[in-house]
Amino acid sequence: MECYTAIFALMNTMPQQIMPLLLELEQCLKQANSWQNTLPSNELLASTQPFCIDTLSLPQWLQFIFIPKMRELIELGAPLPQKVEISPYAEEAVKQLAFNAKPLLDVIKTIDESFK
């Protein structure tokens, strides 16, 4: 019974840990002037590639795919992913960005670690 209690406690605290990180991620994007007011086209959002790598930049993927999907799962009380590994992609993708991405990478790494 103790095992179930520990798992239930973890499930309840995970959304409480992730939601502030999503807000921090959003703030990082806004501070870097990488938050967009216009939604990309349906064609761009419909990519089947991981991270929509063929159609969206890292900031776009975070803003229009990752953040909304994670918020939706949390708000619905749906199970969150068992594992999240955005950091390896993000570390490569930020090389093409024209802003200091360290704060963004730090938040992404914290999100990844929260799912371990």
21-74 pLDDT, tens digit per residue, is 999 999 999 999 999 999 999 999 999 999 999 999 999 999 999 999 999 999
What local confidence, expressed as pLDDT, does residue 3 receive?
42
pTM of the model: 0.86
Provide the domain count of the chain. 1
Question: How many CB atoms are located within 10 Å of the residue 44 CB?
Answer: 14
What local confidence, expressed as pLDDT, does residue 62 receive?
98
| Residues in CB range of 59: below 8 A, 6 or more apart | 29, 32, 34, 35, 36, 97
Q: Which domain holds residue 6?
A: 2-114
Per-residue exposure over 84-114, b if at least 16 CB sit within 10 Å of its own CB, e if not: bebeeebeebbeeeeeebebbbebbebbbee
Per-residue confidence at 10, pLDDT binned at 50, 70, 90?
very low
| Residues in CB range of 113: below 8 A, 6 or more apart | none
Per-residue confidence at 4, pLDDT binned at 50, 70, 90?
very low
Q: Is the pLDDT of residue 1 over 50?
A: no
- List the CATH number of the domain containing 73: 1.20.1440.40
What local confidence, expressed as pLDDT, does residue 116 receive?
81
Asked if residues 45 and 66 have their Cβ atoms less than 8 Å apart, the reply is no
